[in-house]
C-alpha cells in the first residue's frame, strides 16, 4: 500500500469518442537516473509551464511524470499513447485503488512484435473500472531530447486518429520521395553535384521526420544511435553543401562562402560527442546548430539574390517554409497553437513543400544558367566581332604607316641618292666628286637604318639575337632615353621559360604599356619588375602619372589587345589606376 499526496493532475474520462491529452503534466527530474518507483511516490512533483515540456540538455538522465485517471464511462479498457519518436525507454506504473502496482516497460526501438500494440507510438493498456481512479507514474529516458507527449483514449479513437494522420504523413512523404527520385535521375543525366547535395539533404530530412513520428522504429529494428541528435547534424551538413553549390556562394555571396568549412566542421562535433557518450552536450549542440543554420540560410539567400542570382528567390522560399513549419511545430508543443493534424504533422508538410520549391529552384537555376550561357555566348560573339573589326582597322592603319614611311622617308632618301649619283657623274673636279661620295655614303647609311627601323617595328630582331630578357631591357632603355622620365628596371632572366610565340606576346604587352605611359601618363618615374614566383612570371609596371579610368567598358584598343594576348598566354591582369595617383599594371603568366 502506498500513501500518495493529495494534490495531483487529474484526468476525467467522460466520453469514449474523445482523446484526452496529458497537458502541462506534473514532473520530477531524476538527475542521475538513480530513483526507483518506491522512492518517487512520496516526492513532490512540479507542474510544467509548457503544454508538452521540452527537457533539452536539462542535465537529467530521466524524467518522472504523475497524474490520476478517473473513469466516468462504462468503458473499462483504455490506452495511454506516448509519442515516442524522441524517447528511448518508457516505463509505466499503474497504482490500483487497492494499492497494488502494475508496471510495463517498452523500448521505442523494439520490433513491433515485442510491443503491447503494434504502432509507431508506444501504447500502454490501462484497465480502469467505472467510477474508479488510478494513479499513473511514467519514467522516461532518452539519449536525445526528452519530450513526452501523452494522450489517453479508447482503441477506436486512437485508431481513427491514427488512420488520418498516417495517411497524411505517408502522402507528404511520398511527394518528397518522388521528387528525390526525380532529381536523382536528373543527376545521372547532368552530373551536377548540386543535385547530389539536394538528394542527401532531402533524404535525411525525410528520415528525421519519420524518426520523430516513430514510423522508422515501427518498421525496422533500428539501433538507438540513429535518432534526432545524430541525424540533424548530417542533415545540416548536406544543407550547407546544397546552399553553397546552389547559390554559387563563392561568386554571389563570398562572405557566406568563407563560413562553409567552419560550419561543416561544427556539424561533426555533435556526432563525436554522442559517440563519446556525452548525450546532453550533443543535444545542445544539435539544437544550437539548427538555430545558426536558420539564420545562415536566410542571409545566404538574401545576399545571393541581391547580387543578381534570380533562382535564390526559390531557395529563400524553400528554406523559409522549413523555418516556418518548424516554428509552428514548436508553438504547438508549447501550447500556443492548437494540436491538430496540420500542426502535429507540420514537419512532414514542410519537407514536402520544401522539396517541391527546391526542385523548382533547381529547374529554374538550370534555365537561368542556360539563358546566361546564351547571353555570354552572344556577348563573346559581339566582342569577337568588334575586336576583329578593330584588328582589321589597326592592320590597315599599320599598312598605311609602313607605306607612308616607305614613301615619305625611305623613298625620299633613295630619290636623293639617285640625284646625288647623277650629279656626281656630271661633276668635273676631284674635290667635288670626293665630297659627293661622302654625302652619298651617309645617305645610304641613313636609308639602311630606316629599313632597320621599319623592320624592327614589325619584328624585334633582338628576340632572335639576344633573347627575351635583353630585348625587353633594350626596348625600355631606348624608349625612355629619348624622354625626361626616370626609370628603374629589375629583370630576372626568363629566356628559357617560353616559346617564340609566347615571347613576342610578352614583349608586345610590355611595349604597349611603355608606349601608353610615355604617350599619355605624363609620368616622372617608372618601375618595371619581372620576377619568377612559383610556377608563374610576375610582371609589374608602375608609374606616378596622371592615371586613367580602369573601367573595362572604357578600355582603349591597346588595353584590349593586351587582354587578348594574356588570354593566349593563359595569364591574368590586374590594373589599378586613379586620376592623379599613377597606375599599376600587374600581369601573372604561367610558365609553359
Long-range contacts of 387-396 (CB under 8 A, 24+ apart): 387/560, 387/564, 390/557, 390/560, 394/557
Determine the pLDDT at residue 308: 85
Neighbours of 217 (CB within 10 A): 26
Using alpha carbons, select from 224, 222, 218 the residue that is nearest to residue 118: 218
Range in 256-260, 431-435, 558-562 with the lowest mean pLDDT: 431-435
Which tens digit of pLDDT belongs to each residue from 68-95? 999 999 999 999 988 866 667 788 999 8
Which strands, in side-by-side order, build the sheet including 572-577?
Answer: 486-491, 525-533, 536-543, 583-590, 572-577
Find out if CATH 3.40.50.720 is the number for domain 460-592: no
pLDDT higher than 80, residue 351: yes
pLDDT higher than 50, residue 3: no
> Cell 553549390 appears where?
245
* Angle between helical axes of 468-481 and 500-516 (0-180°, round to 10): 20
Q: What is the mean pLDDT of the chain?
A: 81
- 319's grid cell: 528554406
> Cell 572604357 appears where?
554
From first CA to last CA, the distance across the chain in angstroms is 93
CA distance 269 to 283: 11
CA distance 9 to 133: 12
CA distance 157 to 152: 9
CA distance 551 to 555: 7
Q: State which fold the 10-153 domain adopts.
A: Immunoglobulin-like (2.60.40)
Q: Which residue has the higher pLDDT, 240 or 121?
A: 240
Q: Of 371-375, 464-468, 581-585, which has the strongest mean pLDDT? A: 581-585
pLDDT band, residue 268 (cuts 50/70/90): very high
Neighbours of 163 (CB within 10 A): 10
Beta bridge pairs of residue 152:
20, 80
Determine the pLDDT at residue 358: 87
Helix (H, G, I), strand (E, B) or coil at 541: strand
Phi and psi at 156, nearest 5°, equal -60, -45
* Angle between helical axes of 346-404 and 193-213 (0-180°, round to 10): 170
Q: Of 116-120, 404-408, 576-580, which has the strongest mean pLDDT? A: 576-580
List C-alpha distances in Å: 241 to 237, 267, 352: 7, 12, 20
**Chain centroid, CA 288 distance in Å:** 20
Using alpha carbons, select from 194, 186, 216 the residue that is nearest to residue 204: 216
- 473's grid cell: 631591357
CA distance 11 to 21: 9
> Cell 628596371 appears where?
489
CA distance 494 to 472: 11
Q: Does the pTM of the predicted model rise above 0.85?
A: no
Would you give the DSSP letter of residue 224? T
Q: Which residue has the higher pLDDT, 365 or 512?
A: 512
Q: Where are the domains of the chain?
A: 10-153, 167-379, 460-592
- 355's grid cell: 522539396
pLDDT band, residue 1 (cuts 50/70/90): very low
Q: Of 157-166, 313-322, 407-416, which has the strongest mean pLDDT? A: 313-322
Angle value at C-alpha 405, between 403 and 407, nearest 5 degrees = 65
How large a percentage of the chain has pLDDT more than 90?
17
pLDDT higher than 50, residue 553: no
Q: Who contacts 228 (Cβ-Cβ below 8 Å, separation ≥6)?
A: 85, 86, 144, 145, 208, 211, 212, 286
- 535's grid cell: 610556377
Chain length of the chain: 592
Which tens digit of pLDDT belongs to each residue from 189-246? 878 888 999 999 999 999 888 888 877 777 776 677 788 888 999 999 999 999 999 8
CA distance 175 to 359: 11
Q: Who contacts 413 (Cβ-Cβ below 8 Å, separation ≥6)?
A: 443, 446, 447, 450
203 near 219, Cβ under 8 Å?
no
Helix%, strand%, coil% for the chain, nearest 5: 55, 15, 25
Amino acid at each position: 500500500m502506498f500513501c500518495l499526496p493529495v494534490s495531483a493532475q487529474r484526468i476525467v474520462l467522460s466520453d469514449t469518442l474523445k482523446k484526452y491529452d496529458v497537458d502541462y503534466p506534473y514532473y520530477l527530474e531524476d538527475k542521475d537516473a538513480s530513483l526507483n518507483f518506491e522512492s518517487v511516490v512520496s516526492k513532490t512533483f512540479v507542474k510544467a509551464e509548457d503544454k508538452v515540456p521540452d527537457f533539452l540538455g536539462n542535465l537529467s538522465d530521466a524524467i518522472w511524470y504523475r497524474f490520476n485517471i478517473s473513469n466516468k464511462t462504462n468503458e473499462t479498457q483504455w490506452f495511454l499513447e506516448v509519442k515516442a519518436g524522441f524517447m528511448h525507454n518508457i516505463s509505466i506504473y499503474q497504482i490500483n485503488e487497492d494499492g497494488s502496482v502494475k508496471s510495463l516497460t517498452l523500448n521505442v526501438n523494439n520490433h513491433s512484435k515485442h510491443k503491447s500494440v503494434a504502432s509507431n507510438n508506444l501504447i500502454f493498456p490501462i484497465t480502469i473500472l467505472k467510477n474508479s481512479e488510478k494513479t499513473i507514474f511514467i519514467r522516461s529516458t532518452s539519449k536525445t531530447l526528452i519530450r513526452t507527449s501523452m494522450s489517453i483514449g479508447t482503441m477506436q479513437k486512437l485508431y481513427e486518429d491514427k488512420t488520418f494522420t498516417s495517411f497524411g504523413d505517408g502522402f507528404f512523404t511520398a511527394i518528397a520521395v518522388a521528387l528525390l527520385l526525380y532529381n536523382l535521375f536528373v543527376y545521372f543525366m547532368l552530373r551536377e553535384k548540386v543535385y547530389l547535395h539536394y538528394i542527401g539533404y532531402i533524404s535525411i530530412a525525410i528520415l528525421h521526420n519519420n524518426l520523430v513520428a516513430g514510423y522508422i522504429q515501427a518498421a525496422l529494428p533500428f539501433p538507438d544511435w540513429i535518432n534526432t541528435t545524430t541525424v540533424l547534424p548530417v542533415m545540416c551538413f548536406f544543407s550547407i553543401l546544397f546552399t553553397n553549390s546552389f547559390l554559387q556562394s563563392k561568386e554571389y555571396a563570398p562572405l557566406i562562402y568563407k563560413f562553409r568549412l567552419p560550419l561543416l566542421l561544427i556539424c561533426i562535433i555533435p556526432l563525436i560527442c554522442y559517440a563519446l557518450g556525452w548525450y546532453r552536450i550533443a543535444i545542445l549542440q544539435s539544437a544550437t546548430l539548427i538555430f545558426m543554420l536558420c539564420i545562415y540560410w536566410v542571409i545566404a539567400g538574401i545576399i545571393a539574390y541581391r547580387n543578381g542570382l534570380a533562382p535564390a528567390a526559390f531557395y529563400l522560399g524553400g528554406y523559409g517554409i522549413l523555418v516556418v513549419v518548424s516554428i509552428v511545430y514548436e508553438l504547438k508543443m508549447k501550447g500556443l497553437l492548437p494540436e491538430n493534424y496540420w500542426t502535429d504533422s507540420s514537419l512532414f508538410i514542410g519537407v514536402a513543400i520544401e522539396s517541391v520549391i527546391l526542385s523548382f529552384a533547381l529547374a529554374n537555376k538550370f534555365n537561368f544558367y542556360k539563358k546566361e550561357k546564351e547571353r555570354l555566348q552572344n556577348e563573346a560573339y559581339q566582342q569577337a566581332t568588334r575586336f576583329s573589326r578593330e584588328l582589321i582597322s589597326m592592320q590597315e592603319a599599320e599598312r598605311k604607316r609602313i607605306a607612308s614611311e616607305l614613301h615619305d622617308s625611305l623613298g625620299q632618301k633613295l630619290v636623293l641618292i639617285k640625284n646625288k649619283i647623277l650629279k656626281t657623274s656630271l661633276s668635273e673636279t676631284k674635290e667635288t666628286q670626293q665630297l659627293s661620295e661622302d654625302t652619298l655614303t651617309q645617305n645610304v647609311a641613313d636609308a639602311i637604318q630606316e629599313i632597320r627601323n621599319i623592320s624592327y617595328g614589325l619584328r624585334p630582331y633582338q628576340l632572335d639575337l639576344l633573347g627575351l630578357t635583353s630585348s625587353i631591357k633594350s626596348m625600355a632603355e631606348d624608349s625612355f632615353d629619348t624622354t625626361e622620365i626616370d626609370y628603374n628596371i629589375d629583370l630576372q632572366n626568363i629566356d628559357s621559360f617560353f616559346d617564340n610565340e609566347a615571347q613576342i606576346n610578352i614583349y608586345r604587352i610590355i611595349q604597349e604599356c611603355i608606349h601608353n605611359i610615355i604617350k599619355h601618363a605624363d609620368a616622372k618615374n617608372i618601375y618595371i619588375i619581372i620576377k619568377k614566383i612559383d610556377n608563374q612570371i610576375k610582371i609589374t609596371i608602375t608609374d606616378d602619372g596622371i592615371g586613367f579610368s580602369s573601367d573595362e567598358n572604357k578600355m582603349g584598343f591597346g588595353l584590349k589587345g593586351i587582354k587578348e594576348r594574356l588570354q593566349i598566354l593563359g595569364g591574368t591582369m590586374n590594373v589599378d589606376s586613379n586620376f592623379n595617383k599613377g597606375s599599376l599594371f600587374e600581369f601573372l603568366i604561367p610558365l609553359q
